[in-house]
């Protein structure tokens, strides 16, 4: 059964006349009659009551036309959606990202991009590191914004931001009045860590390996906000990025004297896979917007100005 047969059938059903239908379709009447006869043979039942060149749907034809009309409409909708998806001006960007980035970075990126391309639609998915890696690998997302130490490290990477990492303690902690700390000074402290599915854990483990200093986690949480809550309750200390979603009362953020302690966030996509033109344009926007981010000087704190739409 071919698509043209179905289109011929619907035209004959609408016009109820073989000659008129053949003219409307731009084919000969014998060719149209042959196509309809072939369709009826494939279905195994007649679809029309015939009276010379006049035809009218019979019961079988009425049932069949109802479903074919719906099928043809679905096909048309599918083609239209693909055309829209393929247009960088009106397409869809399937983007996945780490949960914590939904507080400030992702909304600002979307707002900034749509101010230039208002008809582009974002299809957003958030999750932990394992979730978004899987989303990208399975083709559900074109792009993801994640930690540099993603498990998909062999795919292209563009740095968006380097966020300084701080030692975080409760305002009631004995170290709360310190202006700076080395990691070695945390020896013996209960450490609030992260489970393996959190994007920041790979970064922290990598930094600890470089220092040769090891901390045993007293607790391990699923996400950064839970870590911040445990630290606020003075159940231990931790290392966190000073992002807007973690700025809780009674937390003290202490700069780390050891070098290289930052969290690098960026855009990753799967090399060799087809992605939409809209997604390609977004990659170009990130490359242009954050050119030089990989070499940026790491600030000692993140202020509201650092998080403004013009600086992201």
Q: Average per-residue pLDDT in the chain?
A: 86
Alpha carbon 164 to its chain's center: 25
Percentage of the chain with pLDDT > 70? 91
Superfamily (CATH) of domain 163-262: Periplasmic binding protein-like II (3.40.190.10)
Q: pLDDT, tens digit, for every residue of 199-227?
A: 788 788 877 777 766 777 788 888 888 99
At 301, the pLDDT band (50, 70, 90 cuts) reads very low
Residue 299's pLDDT is: 55
The yes-or-no verdict on residue 307 having pLDDT over 50 is no
**Regarding the domain delimited by 3-85, which CATH topology (the fold level of the hierarchy) does it fall under?**
Arc Repressor Mutant, subunit A (1.10.10)
d(CA 293, CA 175): 33
Q: Do domains 3-85 and 163-262 have the same CATH topology?
A: no
Q: Does residue 58 contact residue 46 with C-beta atoms inside 8 Å?
A: yes
For 32-44, what is the mean pLDDT?
A: 92
- Alpha-helix runs per DSSP H in the chain: 3-15, 18-25, 29-43, 59-86, 105-116, 129-137, 199-211, 224-232, 277-289
Query: What DSSP string runs through 184-234?
Result: GGGTTS-EEEE-TTSHHHHHHHHHHHHHT----EEEEESSHHHHHHHHHTT
Quickly count: other Cβ atoms within 10 Å of residue 188's Cβ: 8
Is 134 in a helix, a strand, or coil?
A: helix
The structure's pTM equals 0.67
Q: pLDDT, tens digit, for every residue of 100-152?
A: 888 889 999 999 999 999 999 999 999 888 888 888 888 889 999 998 876 66
CATH class of 92-160+264-295: alpha beta
Taking the domains of the chain in order of start, what are their residue ranges?
3-85, 92-160+264-295, 163-262
Among candidate residues 216, 220, 218, 238, the one with its CA nearest the CA of residue 228: 238
Q: Does residue 189 contact residue 169 with C-beta atoms inside 8 Å?
A: no
């Amino acid at each position: 059964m071919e698509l043209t047969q179905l289109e011929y059938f619907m035209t004959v059903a609408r016009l109820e006349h073989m000659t008129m239908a053949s003219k409307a379709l731009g084919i000969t009447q014998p060719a149209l009659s042959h196509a309809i006869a072939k369709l009826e043979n494939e279905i195994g039942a007649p679809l029309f009551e015939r009276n010379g060149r006049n035809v009218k749907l019979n019961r079988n034809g009425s049932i069949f036309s109802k479903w074919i009309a719906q099928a043809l409409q679905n096909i048309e909708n599918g083609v239209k959606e693909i055309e829209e998806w393929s247009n960088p001006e009106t397409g869809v960007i399937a983007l996945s990202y780490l949960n914590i980035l939904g507080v400030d970075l992702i909304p600002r990126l979307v707002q900034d991009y749509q101010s230039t391309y208002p008809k582009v639609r974002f299809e957003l998915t958030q999750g932990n590191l394992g979730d978004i890696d899987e989303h990208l690998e399975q083709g559900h997302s074109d792009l993801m914004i994640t930690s540099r130490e993603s498990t998909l490290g062999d795919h292209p990477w563009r740095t968006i931001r380097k966020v300084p990492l701080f030692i975080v303690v409760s305002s009631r902690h004995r170290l709360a009045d310190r202006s700076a700390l080395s990691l070695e000074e945390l020896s013996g402290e209960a450490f609030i860590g992260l489970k393996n599915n959190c994007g920041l854990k790979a970064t922290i483990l990598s930094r600890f390996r470089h220092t040769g200093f090891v901390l045993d986690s007293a607790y391990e949480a699923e996400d950064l906000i839970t870590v911040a809550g445990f630290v606020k309750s003075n159940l231990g200390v931790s290392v966190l990025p000073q992002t807007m979603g973690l700025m809780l009362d009674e937390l003290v953020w202490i700069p780390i004297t050891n070098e290289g302690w930052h969290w690098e966030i960026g855009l990753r996509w799967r090399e060799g896979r087809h992605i939409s033109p809209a997604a390609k344009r977004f990659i170009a926007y990130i490359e242009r917007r954050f050119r030089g981010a990989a070499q940026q000087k790491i600030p000692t704190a993140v202020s509201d100005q650092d998080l403004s739409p013009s600086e992201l």
